[in-house]
Amino acid sequence: MANRYPTVLLFGAPGVGKGTQGNILGSIPGLFHLSCGDIFRMLDVDSELGRVFYEHSSRGELVPDDITVQFWQQNIHARTVLGLYKPQKDLLILDGIPRNMNQAQRIDTHIQVLKIIHLISKDEDAMIQRIRQRALKENRVDDAKDEIIRRRWEIYRTDTRPVLEHYSERLVEKVDAVASHVEVLSDIMQIIIPVVNQYFSSSGQN
């Protein structure tokens, strides 16, 4: 368990901006962002795994847990081998996994969750509009239909939201996702900076 990756989870419903904030955070030295959804979308749709991903995403459903966890493990390991991610120096910013309780339990042996940033929006319609705009901008066919988007929200409420119960309440920090990107980023950084300072200084890695 000592070799677990020090991690901050970006958590929240579809459209709250996990990927947007994660990409910004990942550009900061000492932070490494990995989005499970993004690495799935990079798959060749003609490959076996690509077909499995598209089959489920096109219905707004989660990719099976075995495939998701194994694929995530392979990707994070590959990035450590290539030197893109250095667990001794970098704080892992993770989004898109875990998306249900089974995934949370299975990746416990791989990550040490230091904080969970829960991006919150009570305006579901506003988040759905964000997803529509993102689908057009990024050509994300899995987010292009209203019924798929609402299915994603339903799965979030039934499967993903309960994941928070797997972790201690003291790890969870709520951030208003409806504010501007800059304000949201500022709020997130106020949470992450103490984590970086405390973890890496206490580990003797600064």
Tokens of 202: 């206490």
- pTM for the model stands at 0.86
Q: Which region holds residue 107: left if phi is over 0, alpha if psi is between -120 and 50, else beta?
A: alpha
CB distance 191 to 91 below 8 Å: no
Report the alpha-carbon distance of residue 114 to residue 130 in Å, rounded: 29
pLDDT digits (tens, 9 = 90+) for 34-90: 999 888 878 887 888 888 888 887 787 888 999 999 999 999 999 999 999 999 999
pLDDT given at position 164: 96
Q: Which of 13-22, 63-72, 119-128, 135-144 has the lowest mean pLDDT?
A: 135-144
Q: Which of 37-41, 135-139, 166-170 has the lowest mean pLDDT?
A: 135-139
pLDDT given at position 206: 46
pLDDT, averaged across the chain: 88
pLDDT of 203 over the 90 cut: no
Report the alpha-carbon distance of residue 61 to residue 46 in Å, rounded: 19
pLDDT given at position 102: 97
Q: Which residue has the higher pLDDT, 157 or 44?
A: 157
pLDDT digits (tens, 9 = 90+) for 175-201: 999 888 999 999 999 999 999 998 876
Identify the burial level of 102 via C-beta atoms within 10 angstroms of its C-beta, where 0-12 means exposed, 13-18 middle and 19 or more buried. Answer: middle
